[in-house]
Amino acid sequence: MKATAEPAVEGFLAMLAAQRGAAANTLAAYRRDLAGAAEAIGPLERATTDQIAKLGTVWADLAPSSLSRKSSALRQFFGFMVDEGMRADDPSSALPRPRARRPLPRLLSHEQVAALFLTAESEAAGGEPEKRRMLALLELLYGSGLRATELVSLPLAAIPRDAPFLTIAGKGGVQRMVPISTRAIKALSDWLLARGKGGRFVFPSPRGGHLSRVRLFQLLRDLALRAGIDPVKVSPHVLRHAFATHLLEGGADLRVLQTLLGHADIATTQIYTHVDASRLVALVNQRHPLARS
C-alpha cells in the first residue's frame, strides 16, 4: 500500500520546482529518496537524530554515489524545514557519509588550454571548414561550459541574433541562458559561413542529424595530439571541468557557476571547489570586510 506523502515533503518539492527550476526527473528522484528513507525510519517530519543515524545501517550496501545522493536529499529537506520554521532542530548531522568522495575529473592547466586554442586558431586561419568547426566547438566547450550532448545537439535557433547568450536545453529539458564571449561569437560566425545551408543543427552530421558525441570526443583527442598534449587527458567533460574550475579560481560565485552549468543541486557544483588552498586564503584576506579593519 502506497504511503501518503508528508505535507513537508510536498512543500519541499514545490520549493525545488518553483525556486530552483528542478526538472520533473529531478523531483521524482528526490521524492523516491525521501519516500525510501521514510519507509525505513518512519515519518521524516518528526524523525529524531537516533532514527536518522539508523539509515547508516539501512544504506550500508549502497555505492558511495548513491549514498551521497540520498544524504543530500535529506540534508536539503531538513534545511528546508528549519528555514520554514517547521522544526527547531536539524538532525541531518547524523546522516551517513560516503566512504569515498566522488572522483574529480581530470583537469587541464591554463597552459594546456592555451596550447589547444593556439593550435585550433592557427589551423582555423587556413579557412578549412572542419578546422573552423573545431575552433567553434572548443570555444563553446571551454568558453561556456556546455555538456557534450548540449553542444552537438545545439539547434541553429539557439544562436543569438543580437544578444550574447545561447538558449540551452539541458538535462530534463530545463532551459537556461548561457553567455558566450565575443571571440566565441566570431568563431561561430566563421563556422556558420563555412558550414553552408541545410539542416537544423549548428554542427550537422554528413549522414543527417547532428555530430555525435563519439565524433566530438575523437576530434578533441586529435586536436590534443597536434597540440602536444596527451590525448588521454582531454575530453568534452574535462574542458567543461576546466571552465568551471578556472572561473572559480578567478573569483566566480558558486551560485553563478551553478546556473551556468545547469545544476539543479548546488551540491553537484561543489565538486568544483577543489581550487588551491592558497587562493582561497588569499581571497578571504583580500575580500573579507574584517581584512580591511
Is 237 among the catalytic positions?
Answer: yes
Tens place of pLDDT per residue across the chain (293 aa): 344 578 899 999 999 988 878 888 889 999 999 999 999 999 999 999 999 999 988 998 888 878 888 999 999 999 999 989 999 999 998 998 776 555 555 678 889 999 999 999 999 999 999 999 999 999 999 888 888 888 999 888 888 776 677 878 766 667 777 888 888 889 999 999 999 887 889 999 888 889 999 999 999 999 999 999 999 889 998 898 888 888 777 777 777 777 777 776 666 666 666 554 556 666 677 776 776 65
Indicate the angle between helix axes 7-19 and 64-83, nearest 10 degrees.
100
**Is residue 237 in a domain?**
yes
Q: Would you say the C-alpha torsion 32, 37, 39, 40 has a positive or negative sign?
A: positive
C-alpha cell at 210: 547532428
- Looking at the structure, do residues 25 and 85 belong to the same domain, yes or no? yes
**Is residue 118 in a domain?**
yes
| Catalytic hit among 70, 210, 240, 241 | 240
| Catalytic hit among 272, 274, 279, 292 | 272
- Looking at the structure, do residues 84 and 124 belong to the same domain, yes or no? no
- Looking at the structure, do residues 147 and 35 belong to the same domain, yes or no? no
For the chain, the domain total comes to 2
**Is residue 287 in a domain?**
no
**Is residue 116 in a domain?**
yes
Residues of the domain holding 47: 7-94
CATH number at residue 31: 1.10.150.130
Do 153 and 215 form a contact (C-beta atoms < 8 A)? no
Is 176 among the catalytic positions?
Answer: no
| Catalytic hit among 70, 147, 195, 210 | 147
- Looking at the structure, do residues 75 and 205 belong to the same domain, yes or no? no
**Cβ neighbourhood burial of 275 (10 Å; 0-12, 13-18, 19+):** middle
Separation between Cα atoms, residue 8 and residue 293, nearest integer Å: 44
Q: How many of the other CB atoms lie within 10 Å of CB of 35?
A: 16
- Looking at the structure, do residues 165 and 195 belong to the same domain, yes or no? yes
| Catalytic hit among 31, 106, 226, 237 | 237
Please give the C-alpha separations between residue 172 and each of 25, 28, 35, 176, 264, in angstroms, as whole numbers.
6, 11, 21, 12, 10
| Catalytic hit among 171, 176, 213, 226 | 171
**Is residue 156 in a domain?**
yes
- Looking at the structure, do residues 116 and 241 belong to the same domain, yes or no? yes
**Is residue 207 in a domain?**
yes
C-alpha cell at 130: 572542419
Residue of 205, 266, 272 lying closest to 238 (CA atoms): 272
Is 288 among the catalytic positions?
Answer: no
Beta bridge partners of 168: 176
Residue 165 φ then ψ, to 5°: -135, 150
- Looking at the structure, do residues 18 and 125 belong to the same domain, yes or no? no
- Looking at the structure, do residues 26 and 121 belong to the same domain, yes or no? no
**Is residue 267 in a domain?**
no
- Looking at the structure, do residues 158 and 85 belong to the same domain, yes or no? no
Separation between Cα atoms, residue 25 and residue 81, nearest integer Å: 22
Separation between Cα atoms, residue 154 and residue 158, nearest integer Å: 7
Is 171 among the catalytic positions?
Answer: yes
Whole-model pTM: value is 0.59
Last residue in a domain, options 94, 122, 154: 94
Is 263 among the catalytic positions?
Answer: yes
**Is residue 46 in a domain?**
yes
